[in-house]
Amino acid sequence: MKQCKTSPYTEKFHLLKILRTLHLTRFMDEKMAKLVRQNKGATFHLAVTGHEMIGAISASVLEPGVDWAYPYYRDRAFAIGLGCSIEDILAAFLARDIANHSGGRMMPEHFSQKDLRIPCQSSVVGSQFLQAVGTAQSAKLRGSSEVVYVSGGDGATSQGDFHEALNFACIHKLPVLFVIQDNGLAISVPVAEQTAGGNCAKLGAGYEGLSVFEVDGCDYWQTAEALAAAVEKGRLGQGPSLVVAKVPRISPHSSSDDPRKYATEEQLEEAKQRDPITRFEHLLIAEGVLKPEELEAMRRDCFEQIEKASLAADQIPSPARSSAATKVFAPFEVPVSTPAEPGESIVMMDALNHALIEEMERDAGVVVFGQDVAWGKGGVFGITRTLTDRFGKERCFNTPLAESTIVGLAIGLSQDGFHKPVAEIQFADYSWTGMNQIFNELSSIYYRSNGMWNCPVVIRMPYGGYIQGGPYHSQSTEAFLAHCPGLKVVIPSNAADAKRLLKTAIRDPNPVIFLEHKGLYRQRLFCARPETGPEEFLPFGEANIVRSGTDATIVAWGMTVLMANEAAEALSKEGISIEVIDLRTIVPLDIDTVLASIMRTGKLLIAHEAARNCGFGAEIAARVAEQAFLYLDAPIQRVTGKDCPVPYCKDLEEVVLPQRKDLEEALRKLAQY
Ligand SMILES: Cc1ncc(C[n+]2csc(CCOP(=O)(O)OP(=O)(O)O)c2C)c(N)n1
């Protein structure tokens, strides 16, 4: 028998195990297709027919529960080969209440299993690559020899995240095994229309240090040899590999697809002829590894196993309707504060820097990264200065200029239960290129995995205007973020709050977006405070009554807190008494403090610098109208930015962003209403 040079994958038991995985996967496909056709509890089926061999071999080269895996939706053979139970996979297909694979929250074939180190997978093609790289970075930082497997289709290589992932993995020589299952189609689009040069393997050419293997994914020896070499390279700390395996897609893209609309009969027939299972069976029989009757017995046994598992899966109940909106956030108790003697007066930027230092000293898992954050620069606003010198380049490092990398990396790093990434996005205005990783991935991993995986990640973002930053250094993005379930959104307005809130954020097991107003970083008059101690924390969802008053309430956050305070001060000289509330966090929102204030004053003005349309002020106004309508003595008012980008020229900027005098006038009018 032909030997596989670099691996022991020639043993009979190993070959038979692979064959069994192929059969289980194929019979499961047939069963699933039947259940959908018969409308028996499932509506959607993603067949893996043709992809079984590459998946099964990939699983066989890993160490289950030690190595990590980010398998995509057509990788069921991988999941079975690694050890996922077939009953679980069938139960997930039927959206039943099981611990693994989301318990009915995700469509079928979205794998998630803690003991096998399969983090929760999403439906977004390509977003898994950067997360896998983050997990590989975590393995490297922990000094382990774990490798990380990530798979995708040929279409996924068109995503920027794929290239960002190769780039980062090569820069840091990370132990990642990128496996592209190239079936020549992304739904209906052929590789020639998808990939310049028509060959995904060539895409790896520009990445220094990447080993590229191009294999026939239906050829056991070729594929096993390439995968074994790639894993060995990763384990030895020599960096990533890209394995592009050509496979046929023998079934439609999904049960909603009809390939006859875009492929000829000959093409469909040709795919069938390349069936990896038939080929492997012929090989094993020809090599005398098993006899035809043994093969038949194995097939029958696998078929029966699937039938039995399917019946068992069907006995599992659906998740309770009452659980639908649970597990959006992981439970968290804020550590008890131990007050310290007030320290010297510091501004917000120092408070943030000190919070990071204290938390990095306390917890070796806290790592800081982003653009320009390392070494002497310490970020464009200097918040992370001294961290690389103090904690080393492993704990405070620069990333490429790629926001999706920053967030994807943070997600992947956070999966090991040890690391606590605190990432910086240089300006909130540039978070959009990382927004898929924030909105579609980071925010919902806890929910999607039914509470199995969580992301203890903090993303710090300088935001806001009044600094002549123009349209791309002035944005206030809080309403977008607050709209996304699963994110906590923090906006401090003074140094004492900033330090205590950042320390709370770092302890929180949930993703926290920490918005820091650029105009307040060095503001001394209103924002400086005596330094709080290392064991002082501020719980989220506790608004601060900055100033008590009786004639009207103003609710603000970030820069408008300062302006509201000044306006209230000016109005007090006219005998008008204004209560100023600083929300401090908008998710969770302390609406109770706002309602209680309105019950005292009867009037509400909300001030924010973000555009008016669908701004967070609209949310507060709606809640107050719902819950305190009868206490209102005047219509709720808003002073906001105009529905317009923020222009650069100072005169124009002043017109677009709300000014103190605007707040003052609106409050005067409201008080007199
Ligand atoms: C970012 C994104 N865009 C579009 C889709 C819809 N979609 C789901 S699968 C798919 C094709 C993926 O093709 P490929 O990566 O080649 O994998 P294959 O399905 O062929 O295995 C598309 C377009 C998606 N899930 N994610």
- All domains of the chain in start order, with CATH: 12-322 (3.40.50.970), 345-530 (3.40.50.970), 544-672 (3.40.50.920)
pLDDT number for residue 40: 84
Q: How far apart are CA 491 and CA 635, in angstroms?
A: 27
**Cβ burial 558-579 (10 Å sphere, 16+ → b, else e):** bbbbbbbbbbbebbeeeebbbb
Q: How far apart are CA 252 and CA 255, in angstroms?
A: 7
**Angle, vertex CA 48, rays to CA 246 and CA 63, nearest 5:** 80
Q: Indicate which residue's Cα is closest to atom 3 of ligand 1.
A: 125
DSSP state of 263: S
Confirm or reject: Cβ of 74 under 6 Å from ligand 1: yes
Hey, which residues does 69 pair with through a beta bridge?
Answer: 149
To test the pocket of ligand 1, the residue of 46, 125, 182, 404 to mutate (highest count of ligand atoms within 8 Å of its CB) is 125
Tokens of 567: 């306006």
Confirm or reject: Cβ of 152 under 6 Å from ligand 1: yes
The atom of ligand 1 lying closest to the CA of 51 is 21
Q: What is the CA radius of gyration of the chain?
A: 28
131: enclosing H helix or E strand:
helix 128-141
Confirm or reject: Cβ of 157 under 6 Å from ligand 1: no
Q: How far apart are CA 581 and CA 564, in angstroms?
A: 9
* Sole residue written with tokens 């300088």: 462
**C-alpha 193 to ligand 1 mean position (Å):** 14
Confirm or reject: Cβ of 253 under 6 Å from ligand 1: yes
**C-alpha 155 to ligand 1 mean position (Å):** 6
- Distance from first CA to last CA of the chain, Å, rounded? 93
93 closest CA partner among 77, 117, 76: 76
**Is residue 558 classed as helix, strand or coil in its secondary structure?**
coil
- Phi first, then psi, for residue 23 (nearest 5°) are -65, -45
* Burial class, 608, CB count within 10 angstroms (exposed 0-12 / middle 13-18 / buried 19+): buried
Confirm or reject: Cβ of 186 under 6 Å from ligand 1: yes
608 is catalytic: no
Residue 595 · residue 627 · CB < 8 Å: yes
**C-alpha 466 to ligand 1 mean position (Å):** 42
Confirm or reject: Cβ of 183 under 6 Å from ligand 1: yes
* Sole residue written with tokens 């020899």: 145
- Phi first, then psi, for residue 414 (nearest 5°) are -75, -5
Task: Give the active site residue among 51, 253, 354, 473.
Answer: 473
pTM of the model: 0.98
**C-alpha 216 to ligand 1 mean position (Å):** 21
- Phi first, then psi, for residue 606 (nearest 5°) are -115, 135
pLDDT along the chain (673 residues), means of 10: 55 95 98 93 94 98 98 98 98 98 97 98 98 98 98 98 98 98 97 95 96 98 96 98 98 95 96 97 96 98 98 98 98 97 97 98 98 97 98 98 98 98 98 98 98 98 98 98 98 98 98 98 97 98 98 98 98 98 98 98 98 98 98 98 98 98 98 96
**C-alpha 225 to ligand 1 mean position (Å):** 28
464 closest CA partner among 429, 433, 495: 429
The identity of residue 333, as a single letter, is E
DSSP state of 218: T
The atom of ligand 1 lying closest to the CA of 152 is 15
C-alpha distances in Å from residue 502, one per residue of 29, 391, 395: 49, 19, 17
Strand ranges across the sheet with 637-641? 544-547, 578-582, 552-556, 604-611, 637-641
- Which positions ≥6 away from 451 have C-beta within 8 Å? 327, 330
**C-alpha 657 to ligand 1 mean position (Å):** 42
The identity of residue 97, as a single letter, is D
To test the pocket of ligand 1, the residue of 123, 182, 187 to mutate (highest count of ligand atoms within 8 Å of its CB) is 187
Confirm or reject: Cβ of 154 under 6 Å from ligand 1: yes
pLDDT number for residue 6: 46
The identity of residue 597, as a single letter, is S
Confirm or reject: Cβ of 125 under 6 Å from ligand 1: yes
The atom of ligand 1 lying closest to the CA of 436 is 1
pLDDT number for residue 630: 98
**C-alpha 511 to ligand 1 mean position (Å):** 27
Confirm or reject: Cβ of 156 under 6 Å from ligand 1: yes
The atom of ligand 1 lying closest to the CA of 72 is 21
Residue 386 · residue 378 · CB < 8 Å: yes
**C-alpha 537 to ligand 1 mean position (Å):** 44
The identity of residue 518, as a single letter, is K
Residue 223 · residue 245 · CB < 8 Å: yes
Q: How far apart are CA 23 and CA 301, in angstroms?
A: 9
Residue 461 · residue 424 · CB < 8 Å: yes
Confirm or reject: Cβ of 285 under 6 Å from ligand 1: no
Confirm or reject: Cβ of 248 under 6 Å from ligand 1: no
The atom of ligand 1 lying closest to the CA of 253 is 19
- Which positions ≥6 away from 109 have C-beta within 8 Å? 46, 48, 73, 74, 75, 76, 92, 93
**C-alpha 156 to ligand 1 mean position (Å):** 7
